[in-house]
Amino acid sequence: MKLKSGIVFDKSGDDYIAVATGEAGRVFNGFLRSNKTADFIMHELQDDKSEDDLVNALLERYDVDEETARNDVKRILSVLKDAGLLDG
C-alpha cells in the first residue's frame, strides 16, 4: 500500500501537517494534523510498503517495542484508509 499522490507535508510548531492536493484532493478535502510518528509513517508510505515494513521501519527509527509499533501503524493506517488516502 502507499499514499495517493498529491500529499504535501509541512511542519508547524509541534504539529506535522499533511495536505491533500491533486489525486489525493479528489477523495479527501482537507488536511491531517499529526505527530512525528504518524508523519514518519506517511513519509514511508510514499513508496509501496506492507504493514510489516512499516512496523520494522518504526522499530529501526525509534526506541519502541514491537507491540507499540504495530498498534501505532494499525491506528495510522486506519485513519488514512478511512480518509481514502491509500492505494492498494
Q: In order of start, what are the domains of the chain with their CATH numbers?
A: 2-87 (1.10.10)
DSSP string, 8-60: EEEEETTEEEEEE-HHHHHH--SEEEE-HHHHHHHHHTTS---HHHHHHHHHH
How far is 64 from 73, CA to CA, in rounded Å?
12
Give residue-wise pLDDT tens across range 38-82: 999 999 999 999 999 999 999 999 999 999 999 999 999 999 999
Q: Residue count of the chain, please give it.
A: 88
Q: Which of 48, 10, 27 has its CA nearest to residue 19? A: 10
* Grid cell in block for residue 25: 484532493
Give residue-wise pLDDT tens across range 23-39: 899 999 989 999 999 99
